[in-house]
Amino acid sequence: MLGSSKRPVQLGAYFALSRVVPTLARYEDARKTKSDDEREMEAREIPWPLFSTLSSAHVVLEDFLLRFDLDNPFVISPDSELYHRAFGFLLSWRLTLKLFAVSKPEIRSQYAAFFRESQLVSGLLHFLFCLMPVTGVFHADTGSTPSQGIMRLPKFFSEKPQMDPTASASLLELQHLACCVYFGAVRHIPALVREWFNGLDRRGASAVDRFTSQNVSPLLCSRDIGATQKVDKAKLRNMTIKARPVAREVVATCSVEDITFEILVKLAENHPLGAVTIEAGRPIGVSNSQWSYWTLQLTTFQIGRAHV
């Protein structure tokens, strides 16, 4: 139904499925049969209804996308079959990312392996950057000017689209939905987004970097760093955390027996496209080789995480 050409049917299916995603995540976890080590190494296909919708839409959109560059958004007529395909494709990805977010860590690692094998994420991101207003200009039928579009662009990531089943379809809504899906991708599957970004040519990487740094990274850094201040302090044994939002930094002071040291985690200006920087002062009593190993392990662990 997500692939229907009827907007009310698409949105009705989306809202109904969105409510059952947490239950679906519990079902997926319950059907585990192998050992933890074996499960973490294998890919797990996302539920078939979602995969079927994503795959069929991807085939239709792929040929169309070959005619467009990442920094040259295209216009889709709201009355066209292509619009309904794109709309269903984005709704399916919102559900998929929600399922990913509410799943347990070992299940997420299996889904990530499946995304990597199927190359669904690269197709999604290419589509998003052909649809999102990367130049700050909205191709809307609302009479908004380019300058108004630039002012409104950040809200496309911080606010959810209304998606009223009784309202008429519009390209502005599709662009807004694309922005929301991109924000969900950089929040929940940052390592996969980073892999795709690192494989782009210079022109494409420049467009993605510029757009993300200006419109997505500030909001994402603010949320990630702010989340560190909401951690239950009772659970932080022998550790204090200080956030520096303006500098995109988090400083953790740790005490282990008679040793006290600080670890500074700094997010990149184009977070999460750029790597997280981790700096730490080696405490007295710890060898250089041991300290280097610890910081390397911490950096490797943080690069694959969705949040600080």
Over residues 261-307, the pLDDT tens digits come to: 778 888 899 999 998 887 766 565 566 676 666 666 566 545 455 45
List, in sequence order, every residue forming a beta bridge with 241; answer none if it has no partner.
Answer: 252
Q: Looking at residue 151, what is its pLDDT?
A: 38
Percentage of the residues of the chain whose pLDDT score is greater than 90: 28
- Side by side, the strands of the sheet bearing 277-280 are 239-244, 249-256, 259-266, 277-280
Please indicate, yes or no, whether the overall pTM of this predicted structure exceeds 0.85.
no
Average per-residue pLDDT in the chain?
80
Say if residue 150's pLDDT is above 60: no
Averaged over 151-156, what is the pLDDT? 64
Of residues 185, 180, 189, the one with CA closest to residue 154? 180
Taking the CB of residue 114, how many other CB atoms lie within 10 A of it?
16
Q: Which residues make Cβ contacts (< 8 Å) with residue 289, sequence separation at least 6?
A: none
Q: Looking at residue 144, what is its pLDDT?
A: 41
Asked which of 72-81, 83-92, 158-167, 219-228 is least confident by mean pLDDT, the reply is 72-81
- Please report how many Cα atoms fall inside a 13 Å half-sphere around the Cα of residue 144, on the Cβ side: 17
Taking the CB of residue 2, how many other CB atoms lie within 10 A of it?
24
The backbone region for 9, taken as left when phi is positive above 0, alpha when psi lies in -120 to 50, beta otherwise, is alpha
Distance between CA atoms of 161 and 105, rounded to whole angstroms? 29
- Please report how many Cα atoms fall inside a 13 Å half-sphere around the Cα of residue 29, on the Cβ side: 15
Contact 40, 105 (CB under 8 A): no
Say if residue 217's pLDDT is above 60: yes
Averaged over 28-32, what is the pLDDT? 77
Say if residue 142's pLDDT is above 50: no
Taking the CB of residue 173, how many other CB atoms lie within 10 A of it?
19
Asked which of 130-144, 168-182, 204-218 is least confident by mean pLDDT, the reply is 130-144
Q: Looking at residue 97, what is its pLDDT?
A: 95
Distance between CA atoms of 117 and 231, rounded to whole angstroms? 35
Percentage of the residues of the chain whose pLDDT score is greater than 70: 74
